[in-house]
Structures are given as C-alpha cells and as structure tokens.
Structure 1
C-alpha cells in the first residue's frame, strides 16, 4: 500500500518503521519541511515529503501531530483527496504538558477525534492513541498469539473503519470495534483502556463496562485521572 503520515514524532516514526518493514511505501511529513527529515528517513525507511504530498499519496493517511497544532494545518489539506481514503487520527489531549486548555474538550461536548474531524473537514478513524510508540513498534505479534494486544478502533464510516482494522491487524495487533467517534472517549487518556495493552476479550469487556454515553461523573473522573497521569509524567521528565 501507499501510506502518508503527517507527523514525524514518536507515533509517526514508529508507524513508519513498522509499515516500511512490511513492504508498504510511506511518505512522512512534519511542520518544518522534508529537508529536516533526513534522520527520520534513515531510521524509518520512509520518504520525506510535504503535508500536502503525504495527504495525497495513497490509500490511507495518518495524522499524528500534537492536538494543539491541528488548527494550524492547511484548510485545503485534503481538498481533492478521494473520499475513499481513510484518515487515521492518533491524537490525545494533554492540557498540562503540551496543548493548553481547549474548552470544547474540557466540557466533554466533543471527543478529541470529533474536534479533530471538525478542523480537518474530513471523517477520521481513531486508533493508535492508547499505546506507547515503543510498544507499537515492538510488541506486534502474529494473529492467534496468546495475549496479543488489542487496539480499539472508533469511527463513523464503516468501510473506512474496516480498512483501518485490517492495517492494525497486519501490524500485529488484534482490533476491537470502539464504536462511533462520539464513543471514542472510552479510549482517551484517563480511561481504563489507555496504555493498558489488553488482549481483545479484556478490552471488549472494559469498553462494554463503560457504556456508550459518557456521564458527567465519568467525564469528571477521567479528567481527574488524566491530570494525575500528566503530573506523574511531568515528574518523570517525560516529553511528548
């Protein structure tokens, strides 16, 4: 496949390494221009490109940049790109460590990926947000391996979701349908599914236990959980 990746950070680079190792052709872009991506290209095997080139390259596009930078992407980034090309969103909201306060995400009216989708003007599929980049690169296993990690995949477009699930499976992870994009709060930071590396049966059970409609109590609890996680990450000197 031809796959475009917009964002050359931890997740983008991990995906590029795995995808090229599987024989896919990958273009990778960042905000500073392809001339700054020589080291990334050498490490990952991906070809440096502009964001426009990556968005128009192939059968799947991945957007994996800091959430606060989403509004800075060109408004016409996906103009003319076939509606049949799924767009993957890997974003997470880190108000303390990186993104600052985004009122729509504090209120709980929108999920992170609904906010991204509104800015991109394009349906997105949410995946790869609840696993560490190092685990994404190194912990994929063949189908049927006991304890194989499962990743939730959420989105509103059934065909796009199935295409993305097939790619996730190829990368070495089971998939669990995470519902529509409004239900993707269940895989956001602060929830039990975040960075938990669960097998499929456990992940399915956990998602089911949360329900599909986020209550005010759940929203408050997960915000508190995430704030505690961010403080711990800051104390450990973790960079995003």
Structure 2
C-alpha cells in the first residue's frame, strides 16, 4: 500500500462526507458511494465534500486501496462484503438500539459487532475505528501531530499490517492512533462502552483499552 492509498467510503451521510472532507484536505484521493435513494448524489458531494469522486459500488471497490464502511448499522447488509477480499476495511458503524431498535441476533451474539461483520468475508482485513467520535467532532477536534491536546482514536483488528495502514490515515486526519490489538477488543469502542464519545489522549485511551482487555479476560 502506498503512502497515500485511494480511500473508498461507503456512505454519503454525515459521517461519510465529514471523513471525505478531512481526507481530501489531507491529500488523499477519495471515492464515495451512497444510497441508491440519494438523488443528485454528485451534486451533493460536490457541495459538501468537494474533491471527492462519486462512483458505483463496483467502481469504488476496484479503485480503493482502503475502504471505510460508514453506513447506518441496519444497512450494513447492503454493502458488497463479498467484493472486499484482501482489502483493508474500516468498520465505522455502530449498533445503537435507540436508533436501530433492538436486533435480537445482535443482542444474543457475544462477538463485537465488527467481528460479526468480518465474518461476512473472512478474506477482508477488517479494522474497527472512526466509530467512537461524532461526525461533528471529526473536523472540530482534528489537530496537527504533536499538539498536546490531540485526541486519540483506537485501531483494532486481527491484521497488524492493516492496523498500521489505518493508523497512518488517522494520523493524517489529525488524531493520535492507538493500537488496540485484536478485533475482539472493539467492544470497548461501541456505544455504552468506555471509549465511546470520550475525548481521550493516547495515554488515557491506551490505559482504558488495557483495562477492558483485563476485564474481558
């Protein structure tokens, strides 16, 4: 993977377009696709994420080195996971019952939601990240490297190289990346868990993730 991988984003909502703006500003080529129900998508993206390119799902997968899934949780099944073989895929989704309603099979599953998604294509290199801060915080909280108040974001996944690739992107976005280890540790990043929505330094987030792993063990 090059220093500036092409980034594909599934989801042209508030999260997807906020990420697209930051990525374009950081010098990345960004390809974005949205819901078929979103009319005039190219016009919308041209206004809210200028510099990003709109493409079909197949075109996005073919062009992207790294894919971000930023669709509503209930729409995860509409994403072409079967096409993600060998791709680094960032799962930025959240299962949030106040929004999604209770989904019995998710509630009964002991795995983290990203482990559930990774099982949709075991050849995809799934990383959980970018889900535990609000879309409005993405631009407001981004800071240059070395800033003493720089916010940290966790990166968890079973593929160390994929974690490093995502960490480089996060650093370019304006955040300190914290390696949280295996994908199972992503539960600490989900709604209702300690890291979700909290502004933490790299040291604070590292300590929190370490404590969660101890509790889980």
Q: TM-score, normalised by structure 2?
A: 0.89
Q: How many angstroms does 1:8 deviate by? A: 0.8
Q: Which one of the candidate residues 58, 62, 82 is aligned to 2:64?
A: 58
Q: How many angstroms does 1:178 deviate by? A: 1.5
Q: How many angstroms does 1:129 deviate by? A: 0.5
Aligned residues: 210
How many Å separate the matches in 2 of 1:119 and 1:212?
Answer: 28
1:27-55 CA-partner distances (Å, limit 9, x unpaired): 11012168434112322121111122122
Q: Which one of the candidate residues 74, 78, 99 is aligned to 1:72?
A: 78
Q: Work out whether residues 41 and 48 of structure 1, in 8 Å CA contact, stay in contact via their aligned partners in 2.
A: no
SS in 2 for 1:125: strand
5+ unaligned residues in a row in structure 2: which ranges? none
How many Å separate the matches in 1 of 2:193 and 2:9?
Answer: 27
1:146-189 CA-partner distances (Å, limit 9, x unpaired): 12100010000010110000110111100111221111101111
5+ unaligned residues in a row in structure 1: which ranges? 216-240
Q: How many angstroms does 1:213 deviate by? A: 5.6
Q: TM-score, normalised by structure 1?
A: 0.81
Q: Which one of the candidate residues 1, 10, 16 is aligned to 2:14?
A: 10
Which residue matches 2:164? 162
Which residue matches 2:55? 49
The change in CA–CA distance for 1:39 and 1:201 in structure 2 (over 3 A counts) is same
SS in 1 for 2:216: coil
Q: Which one of the candidate residues 173, 176, 192 is aligned to 1:171?
A: 173
How many Å separate the matches in 2 of 1:73 and 1:59?
Answer: 16
Q: Tell me whether 152-161 or 52-61 shows the greater mean CA deviation.
A: 52-61
Please state if 1:36 is matched with 2:37.
no
Correspondences of 1:221-236 after superposition (within 5 Å): none
* RMSD, matched Cα: 1.9
The change in CA–CA distance for 1:58 and 1:34 in structure 2 (over 3 A counts) is farther
Q: How many angstroms does 1:132 deviate by? A: 0.8
SS in 1 for 2:83: coil
SS in 1 for 2:119: helix
